[in-house]
Chains A and B, each alone.
Chain A
């Protein structure tokens, strides 16, 4: 795999976000929720308060650091749910074809016709706000691209010699799907999964911004933006830093996705030539 700029920068940004989330208790200066002190409310960024403080005197830096946990958990877990659903449906539809393929296709088209954020919003409205509802809502609404790719790959791989050879050797349907098809479509699935994680981080921010996501006082980047809305002119650091965190994470994931796509593209793989 050739190292490319987008792969390296994207990977580094994503790794940084993960590290920050993992090491939050050591990196944060104060407790993100409890250490409120009205004596130092709305302090601008300084040596003491790197990213400034909010209206309740909480350290924005510490809240951004802890916010990484929620944003990344939502991004990763909900995309995993999407990937599992999309692969299960798309792979089986492409492999079996027939009426099952029609059903999956109809379902996919339905999902594509409804904007996923609107769909997630509807689910959140039913389930109520909170982390679990977020994971469910975002995990159930963004699998259609994964499904499309898995289905198309299964369709084209199905006629490969090694898939037919496996049938001849007595492999059952599920063994064929898991050993012959899935490993050969992993590249595009990883790419779409990485890009999907980025959009899930954004969706989390959007839903939390609308007050449907993680409940205050727990910090997520989206909920911080939401709370900062009224002070955007008086205390812009309240929205700049969580916004920057979202921007860098999503940028990182998109670059990583693009980089992986370039590197996993069979045409550019040097060992094939």
Chain B
């Protein structure tokens, strides 16, 4: 008997209701995350990563809604939980950090108070205990002099420090799953590495699973054991991150890998231009028929323009959706 996975998403479809009609902003999205696992979701901006994340915590708001599919957290279907039960999951069992550490903190509240609020809200602590725990939480994300820093307002902290505070808030209640949506995109490159390292270590220590979302395949593959690549609302490839790097099966993944600078390569040394994928992600309302990648794909053939590819399960594990995959 195998234990139920921590998070299970089955055939999720997210509808966008633009008043006149319903279109699928995402469809056929399925993946599983086990306890303590690190799972990545990659794709260019506008592919549907963030709305997928929001659907997991029951926070899609009109015009977006869950059209069909099942999301189970510890075997319980999230959509069917009461509003109060959903709220109790959020922040307590499933936490999330965002791209903008600049705006995700309340500007008129000291950061210590914002951390402490989590203990009061979800763990029923008194403010006295909670304030003490906030100092410890700030220390755990390696903020120097935490007992003084708790009194600081967000504007007194650098971007990196703020993101540390966000991590402290997110991990305060010891969640089982941390969703990190582009957690370092707004930060300097040097700070990025520190933050990622910190997040990964803290989650590994505590057995917190990570769902890492980014447009940066290199970053995700570095942190996560498995990676799903999303394109125009569909998962096009899902594999172990080492495999996906070594031998990307889907032309889109191939494009993502080729656009990354490699250590020691000519591109990394600035001698040749990095390859980019030509074109842009289509808008939800104008997804092409067949494979949605076909207007940008060099391997596209007639069938690609009419039939959406189904999932092929690879021998080495994982799956890919492409008529002509490697």
B91 and A161 within 8 A (CB): no
Hey, which chain B residues are within 8 Å of A184, CB to CB? 106-108
B37 at interface (Cβ–Cβ under 8 A)? no
B95 and A169 within 8 A (CB): yes
- Looking at A165, A180, A184, A272, the one whose CB has the most chain B CB atoms below 10 A away is A165
A170 and B87 within 8 A (CB): yes
CA of A214 to CA of B198 in the docked complex: distance in angstroms?
Answer: 67
B155 at interface (Cβ–Cβ under 8 A)? yes
Q: Give residues of chain A (156-170) contacting chain B, Cβ–Cβ below 8 Å.
A: 160-162, 164-170
Which of B89, B107, B166 lies in contact with A170, CB distance below 8 A?
B89
B83-94 interface code vs A (CB 8 A; 1 in, 0 out): 000011111100
Hey, which chain B residues are within 8 Å of A272, CB to CB? 155
B121 at interface (Cβ–Cβ under 8 A)? yes
B108 and A168 within 8 A (CB): no
Hey, which chain A residues are within 8 Å of B105, CB to CB? 162, 165
- Chain A binding surface, main DSSP class: helix
Which of A162, A172, A186 lies in contact with B106, CB distance below 8 A?
A162
B106 and A169 within 8 A (CB): no
Chain A to chain B: the 8 pairs with minimum beta-carbon distance, closest first: A161-B103, A170-B91, A169-B91, A170-B90, A165-B104, A162-B106, A183-B108, A161-B104
CA of A179 to CA of B109 in the docked complex: distance in angstroms?
Answer: 8
13 residue pairs bridging A and B, Cβ less than 8 Å apart:
A161-B102, A162-B103, A162-B107, A164-B104, A165-B98, A165-B166, A167-B90, A168-B57, A168-B90, A168-B98, A170-B88, A171-B121, A179-B109
Hey, which chain A residues are within 8 Å of B117, CB to CB? 171, 175, 179
Q: A98: shortest Cβ distance to chain B, in Å?
A: 11
Q: Count contacts on B: residues with CB < 8 A to the other chain.
A: 28
Q: Count contacts on A: residues with CB < 8 A to the other chain.
A: 20
Q: Give residues of chain B (188-213) contacting chain A, Cβ–Cβ below 8 Å.
A: none
Binding site for A on B (CB under 8 A): 57, 59, 87-92, 95-96, 98, 100, 102-109, 117-118, 121-122, 155, 166, 169-170
CA of A264 to CA of B139 in the docked complex: distance in angstroms?
Answer: 33
B109 and A183 within 8 A (CB): yes
Smallest Cβ-Cβ distance to A167: which chain B residue: B59
Hey, which chain A residues are within 8 Å of B103, CB to CB? 160-162
Given contacts A168-B57, A170-B87, A171-B121, is CB(A162)–CB(B104) below 8 Å?
A: yes
B106 and A170 within 8 A (CB): no
A170 and B104 within 8 A (CB): no
- Looking at B92, B104, B155, the one whose CB has the most chain A CB atoms below 10 A away is B104
Hey, which chain A residues are within 8 Å of B100, CB to CB? 161
Hey, which chain A residues are within 8 Å of B59, CB to CB? 167-168
CA of A183 to CA of B106 in the docked complex: distance in angstroms?
Answer: 9
Q: B175: shortest Cβ distance to chain A, in Å?
A: 10
A237-273 interface code vs B (CB 8 A; 1 in, 0 out): 0000000000000000000000000000000000110
Hey, which chain A residues are within 8 Å of B109, CB to CB? 179, 183
Which of B87, B91, B155 lies in contact with A271, CB distance below 8 A?
B155
CA of A72 to CA of B141 in the docked complex: distance in angstroms?
Answer: 51
Inter-chain pairs besides A161-B98, A168-B59, A169-B118, 4 sampled, C-beta below 8 Å: A162-B105, A170-B122, A175-B117, A180-B106
